[in-house]
Amino acid sequence: MILFSILALAATPIPSTPRLGTVEARCRPNEPGPALIVDVDGLKDRVGVLRAELYPARDGDFLADDNVLIGAGKTFRRSVITVPASGVVSLCLRVPAPGTYALSVVHARDGGHGFSLLHDGIGFASNPKLGHSKPHADQAKVVVHDGLTTTHVVMNYRSGLFSFAPIKR
């Protein structure tokens, strides 16, 4: 089980239903909240898309299939943006209520819906050190308050044979 589920992430197709969790997550101008502002740092380059996904902060639900979560009435939100050519990179996710959630951010450098173990980046709330396995939900948790809550995610890219680390500049 050394290669974890990062390999599972790479092998798990992301459904082609673009609206699943996305409509509910879309922030509006002057959004009062509860909403999560995700500031992203450490991008390898300025290509592709960023996909932030919010899950229940529970190991069985964290990084689970979005269709399954939504079908079970559980929280799932997704925000997707094109990586801006320059400047600060932020995403906004509306959340159903204040509380504790788990957050992942994927940098899909080719702009696709999947995750390439070789090319794409990944980051989590609380910025846990990544190794041979995915972090537990409590290592990727973020507490969202009534209004706007800001969190900072540092992206990690493949470093060595099977580990991920931030880009050293």
Say how far residue 8 (Cα) sits from the centre of its chain: 15
| Mean pLDDT within 132-157 | 95
Tell me the CA end-to-end span of the chain in Å, nearest whole number. 32
DSSP single-letter state for residue 76: -
| Mean pLDDT within 96-100 | 96
Across 6-10, 27-31, 139-143, the highest mean pLDDT is recorded for 139-143
Across 9-13, 51-55, 159-163, the highest mean pLDDT is recorded for 51-55
Residue 34, preceding peptide bond in cis (omega within 30° of 0):
yes
Burial of 114 (0-12, 13-18, 19+ CB in 10 A): middle
